[in-house]
């Protein structure tokens, strides 16, 4: 168990959650894990239980049944709540609802001050966190003058300043324009690769999901599919039946396949499609 | 009921340190029955332009003519214009407030002073158009509905005003793929079946490619491009300079061409690119 928990940032076992007075579980018997340095994506249509699951990951909700361990800590243990939230930071959907201060760096400092981190240490951590999301130059700015993508990066910096092991993004790109989405996704990917922070990304954008190491698809509170993006998206029929899309290039591979061209069904990106077409050509 | 935007400029917070020119000499005409997509990065002036189309904002200079009437001129019945140009804001479900779905959709028609019978007819008709069951949902609280359903109630509230022109500001933002399909399907039907003029602000180039007949690209408060999707998406480099995406099919077409695979210029739909690939593979030309 000791070792298992070193390698895994989040483990859930038989995890169920039912809202008070609800007739059925919002999350039902979920077993999954997020490894150290892993980039996990959770997909599912609205109401499938994704956001409830995310809130179980950092003790905003505690399980009705089963267990969630965050870096080995059971989220049911009241005394560990602050340690758990420091380790599993959460970024929400609406950039305007999660900024509390009137100056960017004060907003980043908010969690640290609440945790009683000494002032000199706070300074260091703010500078590090803003640098990591590429917002150092805006440290003294007013958050309301920032774009949506910049606000979300400030929110990520606030989480980052707590030195978390895993960052959970609950549809954090949903309200952004394409360049804001790209800013957030580049920041997240870099934190994942360079800092080794595990990522749990909840999204409706299949092109974002395609960048993950592992995808879990939720349906009716349960995990309906698990696998790498390639494994999941190549099962186009099942993905669609679960109310989701596949990336445009995967759909195109299906079209070409149906027309009799032996294209791999698990193409995810434009680059892969180009390689695939060229490969077919050099064979033929 | 054409809308003509003539030399329109708009300045926010004039005279303050935050003064911003959001629109700079915009000229365009939207004809009856068109399906226009309005694209541009955040801050390009799309939303400001959209709010000029029904007189919510008045130009700092220039004029907007709806059906030949100048919206800013005294004597123009702005209220009547707003009934004919329906505006669906971003996240319109945030504006739902009534106790039931029926009351919320009826709010506009009621303020028109219509007879109860007519109001009732319009509510039923609007619900049918957005594919919500009147029998099942009309007496429910709007807050019991799913996100996609709430958005359709909000759109139904605008449709109940029976507008000739429907302007939608990012109608699919924040919805899951199924919810998006529902909303896009209903917009497509409104356009095809009722001939409603559609102006849709969107960040999704794939949606724009699939739906629009004309694409207007805004950049720094000006109209940077105005043409068919084929014309606009064939200028991928220019779009990227303006911070915009192109549909993935266009990206693929460009990448294939760079490898010497012939894809017709201007191809922007997945089906077109697929046909080009199949034609190429079938011919067995030199490896790339």
Q: What is the pLDDT of residue B145?
A: 87
Q: Read off the tokens for B80.
A: 């009547």
pLDDT(A6) > 70: no
The answer to whether domain A2-246 has CATH 3.40.50.2000 is no
Q: What is the pLDDT of residues A44-95, one digit of tens each?
A: 998 899 999 999 999 999 999 999 999 999 999 999 999 999 999 999 988 8
C-alpha to C-alpha distance for B53 and B47, rounded to whole angstroms: 10
The answer to whether the CB of B194 falls within 8 A of the CB of B164 is: no
Neighbours of B70 (CB within 10 A): 15
Q: Read off the tokens for B204.
A: 């999704």
User: Does B270 sit within 8 Å of A248, measured CB to CB?
Assistant: yes
Interface of B with A in 71-130 (CB under 8 A): none
User: Does A46 sit within 8 Å of B146, measured CB to CB?
Assistant: yes
Mean of the pLDDT values across residues B144-170? 92
User: Which ipTM was obtained for this model?
Assistant: 0.84
CB of B30 less than 8 A from some CB of A: no
pLDDT(A3) > 60: no
List helix spans (H) across B130-228: 134-137, 147-159, 177-194, 205-211
Mean of the pLDDT values across residues B142-148? 85
Residue A4: pLDDT band by 50, 70, 90 thresholds? Answer: low
Q: How far is B213 from chain A (nearest CA, A)?
A: 21
Letter string b/e over residues A230-251, b meaning 16 or more CB atoms within 10 A of that residue's CB: bebbbbbeebeebbbbbbbbbb
CB of B206 less than 8 A from some CB of A: yes
Q: What is the pLDDT of residues A45-54, one digit of tens each?
A: 988 999 999 9
Q: What is the pLDDT of residue B286?
A: 47
Neighbours of A7 (CB within 10 A): 12
Q: What is the pLDDT of residue B284?
A: 47
User: Domains of chain A: which residue ranges?
Assistant: 2-246
Q: What is the pLDDT of residue B15?
A: 86
**Residues of A with Cβ-Cβ distance to B203 under 8 angstroms:** 177-178
> Which of A47, A180, A270 lies closest to B248 in CB terms?
A270
> Which of A204, A270, A277 lies closest to B176 in CB terms?
A204
User: Does A174 sit within 8 Å of B173, measured CB to CB?
Assistant: yes
Q: Is A29 exposed, middle or buried (0-12, 13-18, 19+ CB in 10 A)?
A: middle
Q: What is the pLDDT of residue A284?
A: 54
Q: How far is A244 from chain B (nearest CA, A)?
A: 6
The helix or strand, by DSSP H or E, that contains position A97, with its residue range, turns out to be: none
Q: What is the pLDDT of residues A14-52, one digit of tens each?
A: 999 999 988 999 999 999 999 999 999 999 998 899 999
Single pTM value for the model: 0.87
Name the residue among B256, B239, B73 with its Cα closest to residue A256.
B256
Interface of A with B in 73-132 (CB under 8 A): 93
Strand B197-201 relative to strand B35-39, pairing: parallel
CA A75 vs CA A22, A59, A63, A82, A118: distances in Å? 22, 5, 8, 10, 27
Q: What is the dihedral of CA A98, A103, A105, A106, to 10 degrees?
A: -70
User: Does A252 sit within 8 Å of B274, measured CB to CB?
Assistant: yes
C-alpha to C-alpha distance for A272 and A247, rounded to whole angstroms: 12
Q: What is the pLDDT of residues B1-18, one digit of tens each?
A: 899 999 999 999 888 888
> Which of A177, A277, A280 lies closest to B41 in CB terms?
A177
Q: What is the dihedral of CA A201, A206, A211, A215, to 10 degrees?
A: 60
């Amino acid at each position: 168990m000791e070792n298992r928990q070193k390698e895994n940032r989040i483990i859930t076992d038989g995890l169920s959650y039912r809202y008070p007075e609800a007739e059925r579980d919002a999350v039902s018997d979920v077993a999954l894990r997020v490894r150290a340095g892993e980039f996990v994506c959770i997909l599912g249509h609205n109401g499938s239980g994704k956001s409830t699951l995310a809130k179980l990951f950092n003790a905003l909700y505690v399980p009705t049944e089963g267990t969630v361990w965050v870096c080995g800590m059971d989220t049911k243990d009241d005394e560990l709540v602050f340690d758990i939230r420091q380790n599993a930071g959460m970024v929400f959907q609406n950039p305007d609802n999660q900024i509390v201060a009137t100056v960017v760096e004060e907003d980043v400092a908010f969690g640290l001050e609440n945790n009683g981190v000494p002032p000199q240490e706070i300074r260091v951590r703010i500078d590090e966190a803003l640098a990591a999301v590429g917002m150092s130059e805006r440290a003294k700015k007013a958050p309301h003058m920032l774009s949506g993508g910049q606000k979300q990066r400030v929110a990520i910096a606030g989480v980052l300043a707590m030195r978390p092991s895993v960052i959970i993004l609950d549809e954090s790109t949903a309200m952004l324009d394409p360049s804001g989405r790209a800013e957030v996704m580049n920041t997240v990917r870099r934190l994942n690769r360079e800092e080794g922070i595990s990522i749990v990304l909840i999204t409706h954008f299949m092109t974002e999901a395609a960048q993950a190491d592992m995808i879990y698809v939720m349906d009716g509170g349960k995990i309906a599919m698990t696998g790498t993006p390639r494994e999941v998206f190549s099962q186009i029929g099942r993905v669609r039946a679960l109310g989701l899309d596949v990336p445009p290039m995967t759909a195109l591979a299906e079209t070409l396949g149906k027309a009799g061209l032996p294209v791999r069904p698990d193409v995810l990106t434009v680059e892969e499609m180009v390689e695939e077409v060229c490969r077919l050509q050099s064979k033929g | 009921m054409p809308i003509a935007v003539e030399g329109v400029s708009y300045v926010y917070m004039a005279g303050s340190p935050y003064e911003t020119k959001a629109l700079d000499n915009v000229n365009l005409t939207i004809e009856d029955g068109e399906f226009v997509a309005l694209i541009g990065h955040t801050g390009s002036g799309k939303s400001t332009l959209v709010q000029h189309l029904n007189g919510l904002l008045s130009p700092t200079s220039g004029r907007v003519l709806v059906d030949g009437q100048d919206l800013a001129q005294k004597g123009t019945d702005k209220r009547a214009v707003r009934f004919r140009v329906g505006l669906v804001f971003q996240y319109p479900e945030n504006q739902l407030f009534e106790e039931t779905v029926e009351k919320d959709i009826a709010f506009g028609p009621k303020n028109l002073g219509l007879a109860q019978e007519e109001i009732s007819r319009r509510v039923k008709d609007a619900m049918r158009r957005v594919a919500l069951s009147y029998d099942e949902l009309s007496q429910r609280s709007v807050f019991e509905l799913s996100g996609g359903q709430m958005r359709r109630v909000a759109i139904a509230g605008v449709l109940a005003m029976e507008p000739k022109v429907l302007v939608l500001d990012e109608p699919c933002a924040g919805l899951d793929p199924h919810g998006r399909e529902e909303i896009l399907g209903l917009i497509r039907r409104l356009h095809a079946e009722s001939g409603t003029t559609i102006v849709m602000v969107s960040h999704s180039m794939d949606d724009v490619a699939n739906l629009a007949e004309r694409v207007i690209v805004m950049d720094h408060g000006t109209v940077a491009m105005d043409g068919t999707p084929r014309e606009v998406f064939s200028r991928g480099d220019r779009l990227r300079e303006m911070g915009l995406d192109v549909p993935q099919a266009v990206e693929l077409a460009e990448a294939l061409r760079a490898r010497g695979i012939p894809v017709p210029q201007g191809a922007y739909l997945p089906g077109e690119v697929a046909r080009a690939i199949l034609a190429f593979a079938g011919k067995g030309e030199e490896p790339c």
